[in-house]
A and B are shown apart, each in its own frame.
Chain A
Amino acid sequence: MIRTVKAEEITKNIKEMCIEANHVLSKDMEELFMQSAKKEKSTLGKQIFGQLKENLDIAREDHIPICQDTGMAVIFLKIGQDVHIEGNNLTDAVNQGVREGYAEGYLRKSIVEPIERINTKDNTPAVIHYEIVQGDEIDITVAPKGFGSENMSRVFMLKPADGLDGVKQSILTAVREAGPNACPPMVVGVGIGGTFEKCAQMAKHALTRDLNEKPSVPYVRELEEEMLVKINKLGIGPGGLGGTVTALAVNIETYATHIAGLPVAVNICCHVNRHVHRIL
């Protein structure tokens, strides 16, 4: 059976999700944030955690964005192959949702033409990743991405001989160089394998994972745990002002790759790791 979903319905949901993501941190992120705050040993670090908690409360209660960088809208759409979209072109419908959300939600319009730097004034276009899946539903994730941390993200085209140790060193290199610039405590998304663009996309997608979920592959789960410990030994701390909590989580995705390569992407996100998820 083919199910029909109206394009306006997609627009409306994207609009609401852009506004929600920028004002309220998702429950999984907030819980992890609170748990991590208790582990901080630095006095200044504790003070910064306190300010960041207060910031979350003000954002929620006063309806003001958590961070002034309300990001570039990154949207993952998983579309069931039994869905028929009626009305507007799907990409236009998504961008219309971003346009309306950023206007009505008093969100910052941060998107410019790359060389001439002319602002599009409505925060479009969004970066949209489409995937066709089984079923008759549309699965939407909206993840507004700030650029303080985006600028500190890296892709490493390792050699097969670099192996797992090379992957670990790459992750540590990216986080060490990011330091205070990426607004720590951060969430680290990692993509291992695939091609140049596939590993980057996995690293981004890894940031949207519900933090209560763990990867099913044992070595990936162990690698996440090991890297979180190692990153927190770098000493960067909250605000980059020294401390024992530099990262809140390390989320890793993997994919098969070529016999000649080992691509690794590290996408860093600040403590405002925004992701809202809905199924239509």
Chain B
Amino acid sequence: MDYHMKAPVSREDVQKLNAGDYVYLTGTIYTARDAAHKRMKEALDNKEALPFDMKGNIIYYMGPSPAREGRPIGSAGPTTASRMDRYTPQLLDLGLGAMIGKGKRSKEVIDSIIRNQSVYFAAVGGAGALLSKCISTSKVIAYDDLGTEAVRCLEVKDFPVIVVIDSKGNNLYETAIAQFREE
């Protein structure tokens, strides 16, 4: 199925998605990758506020290349999600609506996705130029000193993602690869 969906997402929207669905996201999403996740963990440990409210929001695991003059952002494709696995369950427990990245997730993350009724999307890895076209504005909102790893608020329009792990725990990487395996 193809869906057009608003970001942030509601739990009802997330629950109707199945692994393999194509989703075009429009609205506000936030970037965070390795260093920003480490900072957010430290903020939670110190009982400090996070850069944005997790509830219903989407984290895009991405660190862009610099924007040329007159453009909102440079190349902007997904990075490998599993490097964030250690931090993810805690953010899901705080209501994180969805994640966009690429690659496998740990069992702990998948269990937490089911428990919290969230969803993991993949964007096409290595399609950073194409994906940048779906981003209309980009603003650093926290951890500016981290450069490309700072937390950014993005406005996106019809940003194309695929449901890889749905709220029931179905995993497209496993089912789709098994379908074509001839070992």
Give 8 closest A-B pairs by Cβ, nearest first: A242-B176, A235-B181, A235-B180, A181-B103, A183-B125, A68-B75, A55-B130, A59-B129
Interface residues in B142-162 by Cβ distance below 8 A to A read 146-148, 160, 162
Chain A proximity mask over B57-83: 1 for CB below 8 Å, otherwise 0:
000001111111001001111011010
Q: With A65-B75, A109-B148 in contact, is A235–B125 under 8 Å at CB?
A: no
Contacting pair B129 A180 (CB below 8 A): no
Query: A108 CA to B147 CA in the complex, in Å?
Result: 9
Contacting pair A68 B130 (CB below 8 A): no
A-B contact pairs, 26 of them (CB 8 A): A54-B127, A55-B127, A58-B133, A63-B68, A64-B129, A64-B132, A67-B126, A68-B63, A68-B76, A69-B128, A70-B65, A70-B75, A106-B66, A107-B66, A108-B66, A119-B146, A179-B173, A180-B102, A235-B183, A237-B177, A239-B102, A239-B162, A241-B173, A242-B178, A242-B180, A243-B176
Q: With A51-B124, A54-B130, A64-B132 in contact, is A233–B181 under 8 Å at CB?
A: yes
Select which of A64, A65, A117, A148 is within 8 A of B102 by beta carbon: A148
Contacting pair B65 A236 (CB below 8 A): no
Q: Which B residues lie at the A interface, using CB under 8 A?
A: 20, 35, 62-68, 71, 74-77, 79-80, 82, 102-104, 122, 124-130, 132-133, 146-148, 160, 162, 164, 172-173, 175-183
Query: A240 CA to B76 CA in the complex, in Å?
Result: 19
Question: Could you list 7 further interchain pairs (A-B, Cβ under 8 angstroms) beyond the known A51-B124, A69-B79?
Answer: A51-B130, A65-B75, A67-B129, A181-B104, A240-B122, A243-B180, A270-B125
Contacting pair A183 B122 (CB below 8 A): no
- Chain B, Cβ-Cβ closest to A56: B129
Contacting pair B126 A52 (CB below 8 A): yes
Contacting pair B104 A48 (CB below 8 A): no
Q: How far is the CB of A51 from chain B (nearest CB, A)?
A: 5
Query: A236 CA to B180 CA in the complex, in Å?
Result: 8
Residues on B with C-beta less than 8 A from A55 are 124, 126-130
Q: With A68-B62, A68-B128 in contact, is A181–B147 under 8 Å at CB?
A: no
Contacting pair A180 B104 (CB below 8 A): yes
Contacting pair A64 B68 (CB below 8 A): yes
Question: A44 on the interface (CB 8 Å rule)?
Answer: yes
Residues on B with C-beta less than 8 A from A242 are 172, 175-180
* Interface Cβ pair total, 8 Å cutoff: 165
Q: Which A residues lie at the B interface, using CB under 8 A?
A: 41-42, 44, 48, 51-52, 54-56, 58-59, 62-70, 106-110, 117, 119, 121, 146, 148, 151, 179-181, 183, 233-237, 239-244, 270-272
Select which of B75, B124, B146, B180 is within 8 A of A42 by beta carbon: B180
Query: A70 CA to B124 CA in the complex, in Å?
Result: 16
Query: A48 CA to B124 CA in the complex, in Å?
Result: 7
* Max chain A Cβ within 10 angstroms of own Cβ: one of B62, B63, B67, B132: B132
Q: How far is the CB of B42 from chain A (nearest CB, A)?
A: 13
- Chain B, Cβ-Cβ closest to A69: B79
Query: A62 CA to B129 CA in the complex, in Å?
Result: 9
- Chain A, Cβ-Cβ closest to B65: A108
* Max chain B Cβ within 10 angstroms of own Cβ: one of A68, A109, A235: A68
- Chain B, Cβ-Cβ closest to A270: B126
Residues on A with C-beta less than 8 A from B82 are 181
- Chain B, Cβ-Cβ closest to A233: B182
Select which of B20, B104, B125, B148 is within 8 A of A110 by beta carbon: B148
* Max chain B Cβ within 10 angstroms of own Cβ: one of A42, A44, A64: A64
